[in-house]
Structure 1
Amino acid sequence: MEGDADIARTAALFADPARVRVLMALSDGRALAASVLAAEARLTAQGVSAHLAKLREAGLVVAEKSGRHRFYRLAGPDTADVLETLARLSPTQPVTSLREGTRAQALRAARTCYDHLAGRLGVAVTAALLEREALVTLDGEPSTRRREGDQISAQLKKHPYALGPRATRVFGDLGVDLDAVAAQRRPLLRFCLDWSEQRHHLAGGLGAAVAARFTELGWVRERGKAHRALRVTDAGVTELRDRLGIRLS
């Protein structure tokens, strides 16, 4: 017989600020070297190795070897979901420098949530898809606002969305092949409750495809190798306005 899940043991891994910085650096789905993670968490090489060993033992991260180097990534999107949930429930940290303030603002403006768009950009794209009937709601509420009864989790187990009558046309205009995405093994439609905007953003296979397409087209760029904030390029500002009616201030 098995007892209850040992939540406290897993939760303790998220109680260390440096370890959380390591996990946050990995939350966009990439694999990063220990040296990059050490710089992100402001740790020594020995310090980050100790944290990574604990995270690997708990099954939260996995290691990939490439030549003489070892790279680390999240074991799956569940860990990123936990981070998003904790961020939404947690108070903001005091900003003590211009660099920290700029970074905090950048994360709220546009970021990746594992492999899809989040922040104001992710929410705006989801709302625009809804307005253009690429997505429709099934509960009579034509918005991305949080619904009563939404579980306190980053990814919603149940969501009120479906593909709309103009889905093929709208996503096709963005260069996203719906049939190809639907043929993948992962769910086509998933939605997260964005921690900074308190609204839904598109996740799942379709959310990942949209984010990958925006990157491929050069509409968004990474702000740094160990920073999941995104920068919308000048081309992106123009295309998002013309194709989806999104006006970024």
Structure 2
Amino acid sequence: MVTTAALARTAALAGDPARAAMLAVLMDGRARTATELAHAAGITPQTASGHLARLAEAGLLAVARQGRHRYHRLASPAVARMLEGVMAVAAGAVAPAPRREPGPRDAALREARTCYDHLAGRLAVAMADSLVARGAVELGPDGGALTPAGEVFLRGLGVDIDAASGRRIFCRPCLDWSERRPHIAGALGAALLRTCLDRGWLRRTEGSRAVAVTPGGRLALRQAFGYGQAPVCGDAA
């Protein structure tokens, strides 16, 4: 059983502004150097190294050496789930600000972004809704399952179901912090994101968790999931 001291220690580690900024950057699932993370947090590389060492010691980060460089990534999907949950709570706890139009970066992140190894944002929620509506996926409060019809459908899209069937949780709902509704996480969610990237439906945005829908992807996602019937991602109204 987790002690209150351990809970407080983990919360304090993740709650420091600089460490929170570095953890948020790593939510796209990619590994980065201390210099890259220092730049993202607005601190010196020396200060970043101290923060990163504490996060690694606590089991929040994993570190791998390649040549002269050390690369940092989130230690596990459980860490990503913790951060996404905090983001969801924080988004609802912030006092309402004067209404303004979000900038392009905000709009892009809300439309489609990576949530560690799976997809989040309006696109991910729309995909989950479509899969549930057609009886391809069953989602409950704590878990999910792919139906036989859903397996046929997703295999037809090129999703590698066999590779997704491993030891980790296969399918589960993940509360989307911007949409406040679930998208699909787990191995199935990771396989869906991988398929969208491999087929060129989505492309990563450098220096951001945002992913952009390509012209070909817009058509493919509309045909597969009914997504994009209304203008999105900067389309004219």
Would you call these one fold, judging by a TM-score over 0.5? yes
Question: Could you say what secondary structure the match of 2:119 adopts?
Answer: strand
More helix as a share of residues: 2
* RMSD of aligned alpha carbons: 2.4
Asked if the contact 2:139/2:172 (under 8 Å) is kept, the reply is: no
Asked if the contact 1:218/1:233 (under 8 Å) is kept, the reply is: yes
TM-score by length of 2: 0.86
Given candidates 225, 230, 235, the residue that maps to 1:244 is 225
2:209 aligns to what?
228
Q: Distance in 2 between matches of 1:234 and 1:134?
A: 26
1:193 equivalenced with 2:175 (yes/no): yes
Cα distance 1:137–1:71, how it changes in 2: closer, same or farther (>3 A)? closer
1:102 aligns to what?
104
Residues 93-152 of structure 1: per-residue CA shift (max 9 Å, x gap): 979xx9x833222221111111001111111111111122211357xxxxxxxxxxx5xx
> Mind listing any 5+ residue stretches in structure 2 that lack a counterpart?
233-237
> Mind listing any 5+ residue stretches in structure 1 that lack a counterpart?
139-149, 151-157
Percent identity of paired positions between Structure 1 and Structure 2: 46
1:111 aligns to what?
113
Q: Distance in 1 between matches of 2:18 and 2:107?
A: 21
Q: Distance in 2 between matches of 1:228 and 1:87?
A: 14
Structure 1 stretches of 4+ moved >6 Å? none
Shift of 1:12: 0.6
Q: Distance in 2 between matches of 1:21 and 1:3?
A: 26
1:179 aligns to what?
162
Asked if the contact 1:134/1:167 (under 8 Å) is kept, the reply is: yes
TM-score by length of 1: 0.82
Asked if the contact 1:108/1:196 (under 8 Å) is kept, the reply is: yes
Cα distance 1:61–1:245, how it changes in 2: closer, same or farther (>3 A)? same
1:73 aligns to what?
73
Q: How many residues align?
A: 225
Residues 137-195 of structure 1: per-residue CA shift (max 9 Å, x gap): 57xxxxxxxxxxx5xxxxxxx23x3223421221012101323422x222221221111
Asked if the contact 2:174/2:182 (under 8 Å) is kept, the reply is: yes
